[in-house]
Copies of this chain bind each other. A is one copy, B any other.
Amino acid sequence: MTEQLPISSDDARTNAPLKYAKTETFEGPIALERGDHLPKVEVVYETYGQLNAVKDNAVMVCHALTGDSHIVAHDENDDPGWWEIMVGPGKPIDTDKYFVICSNVLGSCRGTTGPGSINPATNKPYGKDFPLITIGDMVDVQKRLLDRLEIEKLFAVVGASLGGHQALCWATKYPDRVGAIAAIATGPTLTSQALAFDVVGRNAITLDPNFHDGQYYDKETKPNTGLAIARMLGHITYLSRESMRDKFDNNRLEPRAVDTEFEKHFSISSYLAYQGDKFVERFDANSYVVISLAMDHFNLGNTHEQLAESIGKSGCRWLIMSFSSDWLFPPFQAKQMRNALISRGKYVSYCNIKSDCGHDAFLLPNEFERYGGIVRGFLDTTTVDATFADVDVNQLPQDVKSIFHNKRLDYDQICGLIEKNSSVLDLGCGQGGLLMQLARQREASRLVGIELDEANLQAAIQLGFDVIQSDLEKGVPMFGNGEFDYVVLSQTLQSVVHTEQLVEQMVRIGKKCIVSFPNFAYKDLRNELYHEGVSPGTEHGQLSFEWFNTPNRRFLSIKDWEDFCKQKGVVIHDAVCLNSETGERVADDPNLNADLAIYVISK
């Protein structure tokens, strides 16, 4: 009596027939990357939406290890697919706009040629004779499909997990044929820890006495115990410690009534047993071995230099996204890719979505509003060139951060200091307010933002900017020397603890840098400390914070700043000192009479 158990990511997947799947056949010999050949390859795929006349709206969605071509239901009578939340009319990958293609990967058991397919040479299933394939081989089959469909260039490739590996492979193997890549919950290679779990899973399969060296297709009993154990193990890596805690900690000793040979001591035991038993009904052990080996061999480089070299071949716009609790593809791997792309001058947005859902987060609705919104914004603005002038400024998000007054007096000044057609990196770009002002007024050539807050980042990406999530306290990402005409740090200097590091990195990356900050030697503040004996800018003053809760950590004057620049060998090109109440420039003793300073500096 199988009771309904807690539902995880891909529980909805079944081995139901794919009613809308199409098949293309490629006669061989088909060369594989490791030198083997396949006599013939059949590929099963599904499509959604309409390919437009110029064929430039095709989005390839790549599925994960045990997925298939069925992303979403084609109609209300169709079975649900594995990414219903992401793909469809009005969804982030909007089938009203895009022609979405998803093909089952080479090596699978869900239609495309795999170890269970008939080997024309023997008229029996390949079994152990199926060659060792690579992610590149999977992508090659997809490319053949594109050729058959006469699509010259993909608008985008979107993939998570193993699907992310395919997306990365597209970008590096066929850089001319893809316009944008969204690589989600993936990495340039597996960590040794993640690899180790695959090794143990495969050992459980291949040493199952029913595996028969892969030639079990004509046997009554399949290597189901081994495959189930591999699946249980995989399943643990798809969840996070936090999500397992939430599911199982409070009912630890309440196993469900699952009809299984496996252990049922704990509720987690019955859950894993259920997952294992269900999986063997729909998946083939040889396919699991072949696909996981392809994944385990994928490697864009062990070092930053190697990764930058391989990823440097790409010519597309990038979105790199990870999930904070994903330990199968930990966020540091996404950051490695981000750094490699940045170091090669690629156009990239990056976000590590805060989530408790682990690797499976990409399939779940929990944080979907945020990461779905970022994917939508990324895709929808990838074709937008210089349309910023059309943006209704009244619709722009409010981005109010001023220390002194609730308006960004410094924005106008900063815009005035930047020459037309300049490239600009805005550190702490918020929701993209300054970038938008620059885009509309200064015809900027390249506009990139750095932002820590996820919601701000989402808003700025949806405006069409490349935005990289990063904590300035941990340093500016690894852009090249002089990569931007201007690097801007507006009203942030005073709240950063690692001041020296930040300024050093700014002047390395920017040909020029613009820094605005409040002047804590402004006369009103001097008077407060001198005459009243209170911390400048407490409730007695004109700052809106008190000494114990102000976000400011550094209290500098214009003189302090100029001394600092001198000490650090930083050249001052220009300075605008303002009285923020009147909005006027202060010429007479700015360190006394100005409360806001804007400096143009360089190395």
Contacts and interface: CB of A to CB of B under 8 A. Distances in A.
A217 interface: no
Contact of A261 (B207, B229, B500, B536): B207
Contacts of A543: none
Nearest to A551: B497
A529 interface: yes
B521 A538 contact: no
- Interface hub of A239, A263, A532, A592 (most chain B Cβ within 10 A): A263
Contact of A535 (B252, B269, B520, B530): B520
Interface stretch (A188-196, A339-347, A429-437, A573-581): A188-196
Main secondary structure of the interface of A (DSSP, over half): helix
A534 interface: yes
A533 B526 contact: yes
A261 B236 CA distance: 25
A145 to B, nearest CB: 29
B245 A192 contact: yes
Interface of A: 191-193, 195-197, 199-200, 202-204, 206-207, 209, 225, 228-229, 232-233, 236, 239, 241, 244-245, 247-250, 252, 261-263, 265-266, 268-269, 272-273, 276, 293, 296, 299, 302, 327, 330, 497, 499-500, 520-521, 525-527, 529-530, 532-536, 538, 546-549, 553-560, 563-564, 591-592
A443 B51 CA distance: 85
A199 to B, nearest CB: 5
Given A263-B206, A555-B555, A192 B248 contact: yes
Contacts of A497: 553
Given A196-B236, A232-B203, A261-B207, A530 B534 contact: no
- Counted per complex, copies of this chain come to 2
A241 B330 contact: yes
Given A196-B244, A200-B272, A526-B529, 18 more contacts: A192-B244, A192-B248, A192-B249, A195-B252, A195-B268, A199-B263, A199-B265, A200-B233, A200-B236, A206-B263, A526-B530, A529-B536, A530-B530, A533-B559, A534-B560, A535-B555, A536-B555, A548-B554
Contact of A560 (B193, B245, B525, B538): B538
Contacts of A268: 192, 195-196, 199
Contacts of A538: 560
Given A268-B192, A530-B530, A559-B534, A548 B203 contact: no
Nearest to A247: B192
Contacts of A262: 203, 207
Nearest to A591: B533
B207 A225 contact: yes
A553 B548 CA distance: 9
A252 to B, nearest CB: 7
Q: Which 9 A-B pairs have the closest CB atoms?
A: A499-B548, A192-B244, A521-B533, A192-B248, A530-B530, A533-B591, A193-B241, A199-B269, A196-B236
A529 B523 CA distance: 10
A273 B203 CA distance: 9
